């Protein structure tokens, strides 16, 4: 990989095309003078460059955030595979350029990402829980709708949260035979599993959200500590979650964890509680994937 330094780039006079390989909104906030934009994170990155620079022998310099981010190196690799023969990488990127006090064009530096304070109500039309149940021979998966919920943020961090699940809404997505599908749903709703007629609502209450310092975008930034009530039984529950602000009025979050259904009285098919189950065994643990979207209440 051919590289170029900030000093060389500053005095460059050979007419090389300078490409800012980060997203459009980042380019608008700040970019090197004279740079054009083609985002390496887009699947059409090479096509975009081809539109801007059809000559594959042209001199090209790519740069991104710097500071160890792989954006520019990845761009150079993609362009090299696409047949561009004269590509160099400014590895320091915007981080080094700004540290040297050199000028940039654009609206200014990006605002620091933070979670806005306030109370946010769960949007039940876009939030969902996905479940997977297994045994040694098979598995089923489906959804459960959220009945409601609320997230409270103070001083830029999550303070507490509460989510309720509508257990009547449990659905199976993998069984295409309508008869078998309906049979499974009846089974999940009866006393063998979730006793929905007696316990139509499940609830998770987060009493404390522990921020995780060593996290990067797309990895958990909180551990949620609280309790879950299912089939009328309340047990402690902690799990990692990703919580982020889509904008000042919307939060989004995702979490994945395993729940031992037998701790809540769902004993059917448990190899820990019954003998000689054979093909009737059902794993004790159910996998849950929670996706929450919330709107500002006040």
Tell the residue number behind the tokens 């500590």, with chain if given: 225
The contacts of residue 206 (CB under 8 Å, 6+ apart) are 158, 160, 161, 162, 224, 225, 226
Instruction: Please tell me the CATH superfamily of domain 2-99, with its number.
Output: Rhodanese-like domain (3.40.250.10)
- Residue 114 confidence (pLDDT): 56
Reported as a single tens digit per residue, the pLDDT across 199-257 is 999 999 999 999 998 888 889 999 999 999 999 999 999 999 999 998 889 999 999 99
Tell the residue number behind the tokens 């887009």, with chain if given: 42
Average pLDDT over residues 136-149: 95
Give just the sign of the alpha carbon dihedral 236, 221, 207, 204: negative
Reported as a single tens digit per residue, the pLDDT across 276-298 is 999 899 999 999 999 999 999 96
Reported as a single tens digit per residue, the pLDDT across 79-109 is 999 999 999 999 999 999 999 999 999 987 5
184 near 142, Cβ under 8 Å?
A: no
* 118-296 CATH pick, 3.40.228.10, 2.40.128.110, 3.40.190.10, 1.10.10.10: 2.40.128.110
Q: List own/partner pairs for 49-54 with CB under 8 A and 24 or more apart.
A: 49/19, 49/79, 49/82, 49/84, 50/82, 52/17, 52/19, 53/17, 53/84
As annotated, the residues of the chain forming the CATH 3.40.250.10 domain(s) are: 2-99
- Residue 14 confidence (pLDDT): 65
């Amino acid at each position: 990989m051919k590289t170029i330094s900030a000093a060389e780039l500053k005095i460059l006079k050979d007419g090389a095309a300078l490409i800012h390989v980060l997203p459009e909104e980042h380019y608008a906030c700040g970019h090197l003078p004279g740079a054009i934009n083609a985002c390496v994170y887009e699947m059409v990155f090479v096509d975009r460059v081809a539109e801007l620079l059809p000559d594959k022998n042209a001199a090209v310099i790519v740069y991104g955030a710097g500071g160890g981010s792989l954006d520019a190196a990845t761009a150079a690799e993609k362009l090299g595979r696409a047949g561009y023969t004269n590509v160099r990488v400014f590895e320091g990127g915007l981080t080094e350029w700004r540290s040297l006090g050199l000028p940039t064009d654009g609206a200014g530096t990006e605002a620091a990402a933070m979670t806005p304070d306030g109370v946010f109500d769960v949007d039940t039309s876009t939030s969902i829980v996905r479940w997977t149940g297994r045994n040694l021979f098979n598995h089923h998966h489906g959804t459960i709708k959220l009945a409601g919920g609320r997230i409270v943020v103070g001083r830029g961090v999550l303070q507490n949260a509460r989510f309720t699940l509508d257990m009547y809404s449990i659905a199976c997505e993998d069984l295409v035979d309508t008869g078998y599908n309906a049979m499974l749903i009846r089974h999940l709703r009866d006393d063998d599993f979730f006793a929905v007629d007696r316990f139509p609502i499940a609830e998770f209450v987060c009493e404390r959200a522990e921020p995780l310092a060593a996290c990067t975008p797309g990895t958990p930034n909180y551990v949620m500590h609280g309790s879950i009530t299912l089939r009328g039984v309340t047990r402690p529950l902690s799990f990692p979650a990703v919580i982020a602000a889509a904008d000042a009025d919307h939060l989004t979050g995702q979490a994945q964890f395993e729940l031992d259904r037998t701790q809540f009285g769902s004993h059917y098919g448990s190899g820990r509680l019954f003998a000689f189950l054979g093909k009737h065994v059902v794993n004790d643990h159910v996998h849950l994937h929670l996706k929450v979207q919330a709107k500002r209440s006040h």
